[in-house]
Amino acid sequence: MTAREFERRAAQRRQADSPADRETELNHFRVLSFADWCALNAISLATGRRILASGQGPIVTRLSARRIGITVGNNARWQQSRAQIA
């Protein structure tokens, strides 16, 4: 292997996504149950229902006819939209 090829391969390895980066990226698609979402945000189930009913909550993923969930990514975007500078 020439020095030039060695440097090229080393650069490719540095550019490749690490497994931790891929795990973090996939985590954004993980769906939280409604109860888990409420617990994560430290709100009661009743408050969670009120937030979603108001139309000001995160994007909801319908899991079945009677079950809903919120992806980790949608929760993060919703939390960012609620952030205020003091």
Residue 48 vs residue 86, higher pLDDT = 48
Tell the residue number behind the tokens 């979402």, with chain if given. 37
Residue 56 vs residue 24, higher pLDDT = 56
pLDDT for the residue 17: 65
pLDDT for the residue 81: 93
Q: What is the rounded CA–CA span in Å between residue 84 and residue 29?
A: 25
Q: What is the rounded CA–CA span in Å between residue 85 and residue 53?
A: 26
pLDDT for the residue 19: 66
| pLDDT tens-place string over residues 4-50 | 888 888 877 777 666 666 667 788 899 999 999 999 999 999 999 99
What dihedral angle (degrees, nearest 10) is formed by the CA atoms of 77, 37, 71, 50? -70
pLDDT for the residue 78: 96
| pLDDT tens-place string over residues 58-74 | 999 999 999 999 999 99
Distances (CA, A) of 57 to 38, 41, 51, 78: 11, 12, 5, 7
Rg (CA), the chain: 20
Spatial contact of 48 and 13, defined as CB atoms under 8 Å apart: no
